[in-house]
Each structure stands twice: as C-alpha cells, then as structure tokens.
Amino acid sequence: MSASIITPVTLLTGFLGSGKTTLLNRLLKHPLMRETAVLINEFGAVSIDHLLVRETSENMIIMSNGCICCSVAGDMVTALRDLYFKRANGEVPMFKRVVIETTGLADPAPIMHTLIEMPLVAARYSLSGIVVTVDAAHGMKQLDEHAEALKQAAVADRIVITKTDLVTPEITGELRTRIAALNPGAIIVDAVSGDVDPAVLFDTGLYQSGSKTPDVQKWLRAEAYRPLAPLPANANLLSPQHAANSAQHRQTRHDPRINAFAVVIDSPIRWQSLVDALETITSLRGEQMLRIKGIVNVAGESAPRAIHAVQHTIYPAARLGAWPDSDHRTRIVFITRDLDEIFIRDTLKSFIRDTAEVTG
C-alpha cells in the first residue's frame, strides 16, 4: 500500500454499560471486518472467542478473518504508528480502515484532536466517523445526568440503540425521538445483542469503502438540521423572525445545552474570509464548538471544498473533484454546547460581508 494513502478511522464509543463491548464482539466475527484494524483499551474487556484467533502477541491478536486487534495500552499514537509500519513491512494482514474503541467515560474530542494535530498520525490516518452506543433501558437517564453521554450522542455520525429487546417499543421510541432532536444528522439504528451490519456503521466519511468518489450528502446530511436563513452577501444571517423562531426552538427542545443547526450561504465565499471566521470561532469558543462540517462554494473555484473542525482544531480542507449535485450553495453544520447561534451568525457576517465583491 502506498504511504500516501490515508486510512479512515472510526471512533466507537458509548456510555458505561451501553453495550459497546457486545457490539464490538459481534462486529469482530463479521466477514466485513476483514481488512480492519481494531484498537481496544484492553483485551480483558473484550472476550474474544479463541476459535477465531489465528495469531497472538503481547498486545496484538490477529483474527482468522484477517481482522487485527491491538491493545492501545494508553497510547493511541504509538499503536497507530506501530500498525502503520507493521502493515508496510508485511508483518500484519493488510487493513484498509481502523476502529478505535474508547472507554465509556471518554470524551471523543481528544482522540479526534490527535487524529488531526499529531503529524505522525495525521499524515497516515483521517477521522471517518463516530459511532455511539446508547442503552435503550438507561439512555434517557444517562443523557439527563451525564455530560459525557450527552456529548457523545451530540457529535455522533451513527447512533446504535442497544438492548431494545429489554424495553417496550414506547420507551425506545421516546429515546429515538430525543436523540433525533439532539443530533438530527446522525443515522440511528437499533441493535439486539450487537447485531449490526458493519457497513452501516463505518461508511460515514467523505470517502466510502470501495469508492473513490466522495459521498458528500451521506457525510454532511445538512438537510437534516434546522436551517438558519439563507445567507446572501451583505444581508443578515438571520432575520428577526427567524431569530424568534430559533429562540422558541431552543426553549422547547429536550436538551437545551446542545444546539445543532445548518448555515446556508447563497453566494460564493472568499476562502480566506471563511478561514478567518472559522479560526475566530474555534479560538474564542472552541470548548463550546463540538463539531463543524460543511461543503463550501469558494469564489473563483469550479468545485467545492469540504471543511471539518472539532472544538479548537480545524482539519485541512479537502478539495472535491466536483459538486455532488446541482445545489452549489455553501452548507455548514454547527453542533455547539452552551453557545447561542447569534455568536456564529455575527462572526460569519463580519468576515464574509464582502462576498459579492469577489464573485464571478
């Protein structure tokens, strides 16, 4: 495999007791997990059927289906580096994606930050998506009482509701409704005993397995979010009526600390102006910016760029080969915590007010 190929990474997390280990055990036995490397906090937490194990070492298990399991041992960077060089030297089976299983109390942001900021890792791996397990029986209580559980669900690309066989359909439906309001862009699936198709969980990034063409709609899902008013040049991002509607929306939703919305901008944007705006937002309010994703119509460019940021850290933008559809508007999704969109609106407005001057 060429050293220039970036391997997609999926984070698998979920609150304590949410069924993450059960899900991982089922996934490890699935044929589609071939050519996958799985980083686990510790082997003792994941009981692996010895009949599926082909080779073992102190911190690595190679499954009979070619899936590689590594013990992170507290150092994800070392594990990812070792995997990369072992793959390059032919010491482990070829893998085309990585799954990182985190502890139940883990905040996804530091791991996401590592994948962006650590040069050794960022040159070889890229965050593809976040999968979160939520317990159908205890999920509502955990979302109420634990900030970690709320944040995990808010930033997820896929949410797996587990143990649905232990509760009534009404309880599962209520939890699903709440999660959909909290994170409208996430795809929600139910799982009994961890039975889920890996492709549903892991094909979440811009580039799907087996395809070189980016799937922007599947990655961004901007249409699922509550939109702000369209943003033409030299106009308010949000009209007074939209502001009133948004305020009412924040008062009535179940998790008022989390705010998820999409900004739509009609005119092409000067690239540096947007960079300055995002750097201002992440530097001043990074702790409150859980995630930013978007597709951008850059003034003077025929194809869009994809942007992605996590808290204080902004990914390098990806230049896409072409627009995915006939809609050439800029669409940016913001997921925030304890932050009103007025700050986002005013910051964007202050930097992109000159958009009309650079169109054409």
**Each residue of 109-168: pLDDT tens digit?**
787 777 777 777 878 888 888 999 999 999 999 999 998 899 999 999 999 999 999 999
What is the model's pTM? 0.84
Mean pLDDT of the chain: 82
Per residue in 261-286, pLDDT tens? 999 998 999 999 999 999 999 999 99
- The mean pLDDT of 19-48, rounded to a whole number, is 82
- The mean pLDDT of 302-306, rounded to a whole number, is 95
Q: What is the pLDDT of residue 74?
A: 62
Q: Left if phi > 0, otherwise alpha if psi is -120 to 50, otherwise beta: which for 83? A: alpha
Top-ranked range on mean pLDDT: pick from 160-174, 212-226, 241-255: 160-174
Find the range with the poorest average confidence among 119-128, 182-191, 194-203, 225-234: 225-234
- The mean pLDDT of 13-20, rounded to a whole number, is 89
Q: What is the pLDDT of residue 59?
A: 79
Q: At what angle do helices 341-352 and 271-285 cross, to 10 degrees?
A: 150
Q: What is the pLDDT of residue 250?
A: 46
Residue 6 has pLDDT above 50, yes or no: yes
- The mean pLDDT of 312-329, rounded to a whole number, is 90
Parallel, antiparallel, or unpaired: how do β-strands 97-101 and 125-135 relate?
unpaired
**How does residue 213 score in pLDDT terms, banded at 50, 70 and 90?**
low
User: 3-state DSSP call for residue 4?
Assistant: coil
Supply 226's token pair. 């509550």
- In 10 A of CB 8, how many CB atoms? 21
The domains located in the chain, with CATH, are 7-202 (3.40.50.300), 221-358 (3.30.1220.10)
- The mean pLDDT of 183-190, rounded to a whole number, is 94
- The pLDDT > 70 percentage for the chain reads 82
Supply 228's token pair. 């702000």
200 or 161, greater pLDDT: 161
- In the chain, what's the furthest Cα-to-Cα distance? 66
10 or 234, greater pLDDT: 10
Residue 54 has pLDDT above 90, yes or no: no
Q: 321: number of CA atoms within 13 Å, CB side?
A: 6
**How does residue 246 score in pLDDT terms, banded at 50, 70 and 90?**
very low
Please, are residues 149 and 175 in contact by the beta-carbon 8 Å criterion? no
